[in-house]
Amino acid sequence: MLMAQMNWVFLDDFGGRHRVGLYHGDRTGHVMVHCNMRVVQIDFSVKDTKMYSFFIEDELCELILEKKDGVFGYEFRVNKKADTPRNRVRRVKDGQMRKYLALMVGGIVLVLTIAVFSLRWFGQKQEAKRMATTSIVGKYSKENMKRLVADGKRTVAKLHLVQAEKPGSQKISYTLLAVDSLMEQGDFAVKNTDPILLPNGFPFSEGDEFDAIYLPSDPQVHRVDFFQPTRSTTTTYLRLATQAEQKFNPAVPPGKNVCHVLTAAENAGWTSLAHFIFQEKTPKENARHNRDSYERLLRESALAKEIQTRCWDK
């Protein structure tokens, strides 16, 4: 499989050296962007001009794939104009607004402050049970759920591990993010397993992000949907799935292992990546995702045919 391969070296303001690379398949159009040996972006069937954004430390970086006269050109650059924390620092320094910067940083430090959320049933026990397996809901009631549908505003919830207060207990806090401000916080209990599992069945990673919805008039009314991960979290799942596939199938060439994961994600959805991540687990160790579910996934006729065509018939 032929592909374009580009590499850049980015030096940050603190002397750090970062290696950025890009692979772009000539025939498939599949794109993988990596930084410091970690995958940061994956995309499929890119046949026209496109731009990818990602952070290196706190710098917003961009990779531009520009197609001219049927030929792709590739450019790496740092975006110093977008509204990011780093660029706001630049503007504050330029405009001598240090007091505003101190207040903003102070607000960000307060992100880790934890507020208590509650689940209320109000006679809707079955609905609440269903929602609890897919999401976290603040101030649950049937009426509040209707208000969220009608007037809710979408944002992102970011997860953090809370220091265990006593042996055997474990909690994860989440923060609803908005531009320049903290909106609402909460936490939920999880089983003290290794790794810690989220309601969607995937392993928890510090900083995981998921789509959320809240009421602007009362942010305590909100819902965090664990089946709507952000692009960065999906990229983390792709990385974990690829690492597991390579670790537990060392006889298969790395390129074909990556192809297996990408093909499954494209055809069976991102949720299929959990089967790759936990492919060494027994059903007793992980009832949802294990070696049996992994083998069933790869034996599924449509996906098996697609993998055979894309990854082996070359």
pLDDT at res. 159: 93
b or e along 247-280 (b: 16 or more beta carbons within 10 Å of the residue's beta carbon)?
Answer: eeeeeeeeebbbbbbbbbbbebebebbbbbbbbe
Question: pLDDT tens across 258-281, in order?
Answer: 899 999 989 999 999 999 999 999
Q: Measured between alpha carbons, how far is 239 from 34 in angstroms, rounded to an integer?
A: 10
Q: Is 129 left (phi over 0), alpha (psi -120 to 50) or beta?
A: alpha
Q: Measured between alpha carbons, how far is 137 from 135 in angstroms, rounded to an integer?
A: 6
Which helix (H) or strand (E) covers residue 294, if one does?
A: helix 291-299
DSSP-derived 3-state class of residue 288? coil
Q: Measured between alpha carbons, how far is 176 from 185 in angstroms, rounded to an integer?
A: 6
> CA dihedral in degrees (108, 110, 114, 120; nearest 10)?
-60
Q: Measured between alpha carbons, how far is 222 from 135 in angstroms, rounded to an integer?
A: 10
CA-based radius of gyration for the chain: 22
Instruction: Please tell me which of 97-111, 136-150, 279-293 the model is most confident about, judged by mean pLDDT.
Output: 279-293
Q: What is the DSSP letter of 160?
A: E
CATH of domain 3-78: 2.40.128.180
Decide: residue 96, CB within 10 A, 0-12 exposed, 13-18 middle, 19+ buried: exposed
Which is more confidently placed, 269 or 26? 269
**Sheet with 218-229: strands ordered across:** 135-138, 218-229, 209-215, 153-162, 171-178, 181-189
Q: Measured between alpha carbons, how far is 63 from 76 in angstroms, rounded to an integer?
A: 5
User: Cα-flanking dihedrals φ and ψ of residue 44, to 5°?
Assistant: -120, 145
**If pLDDT is split at 50, 70 and 90, which confidence band does 119 have?**
very low
Please determine, for residue 289, whether its predicted confidence score (pLDDT) is greater than 90. yes
pTM above 0.85, yes or no: no
Cis peptide before 195 (omega within 30 of 0): yes
Please determine, for residue 306, whether its predicted confidence score (pLDDT) is greater than 80. yes
Angle subtended by helix axes 291-299 and 254-268, to nearest 10? 80
Q: What is the DSSP letter of 111?
A: G
| The dihedral sign for the CA sequence 214, 215, 216, 220 | negative
- Secondary structure of the chain: what % helix, strand, coil (to 5)? 35, 35, 30
Please determine, for residue 164, whether its predicted confidence score (pLDDT) is greater than 80. no
Please determine, for residue 29, whether its predicted confidence score (pLDDT) is greater than 50. yes
User: Structural domain boundaries of the chain?
Assistant: 3-78, 113-229, 233-312
| CA-wise closest residue to 175 among 187, 189, 193 | 187
Please determine, for residue 295, whether its predicted confidence score (pLDDT) is greater than 90. yes
Tokens of 279: 């492919």
